[in-house]
Amino acid sequence: MDERAAWNEQRRRAIDEHAAALAAGRETEARQAADLLTSFVQRAAEGGLPPHRLTARSFDGRATYRTKARGWYLKSNRSIAVGEHGEYYVLTVPSSWRARFTGADLSPSIPKLIVGAGGGDGETIPLAQLLDQRLDAGATWP
């Protein structure tokens, strides 16, 4: 094997190892965040905080759609929620005429320990803090 081929192989291995380490870190973070969400659902039930029917907003913010999901909003702008079974929802969906009549379909997102990280708007908050704030607000805030 010549030097160039050896260098290319070494580089490929380093890239693969780096990608595997990043993926493992994301998986660990998602598991930790899922544990926080599960704990929140249990504490909400113990505290008598009932889940509500969730709504989703279109990406452009012009329309609001009903959903079949139930849970608790985590932010006052109703952009993030926890489903009644511990799912993590980002409540934005594509605009749809069908959804106006039948409701929007939500898919759970992979939770992160820092909400808003990588969003570019500068509004980040630890998930644990957001969940605690929601529990502290109680039934006064859907």
The pLDDT tens digits for 101-132 are: 999 999 999 999 999 876 656 678 999 999 99
- Within 47-126, where are the H helices? 97-102
What SS3 class is residue 72?
Answer: strand
- Average pLDDT of 63-78? 94
* pLDDT per residue as tens digits for the range 4-26: 888 988 999 999 899 888 888 89
Task: Say which residues have a Cβ less than 8 Å from residue 7's Cβ, sequence separation at least 6.
Answer: none
Cα dist from 55 to 1, 6, 62, 87, 93, whole Å? 60, 55, 13, 15, 10
**Beta pairing partners, 109:** 88
- Token couple for 30: 């998602």
Statement: residue 86 has pLDDT above 90: yes
The pLDDT value given to residue 76: 87
What SS3 class is residue 135?
Answer: helix
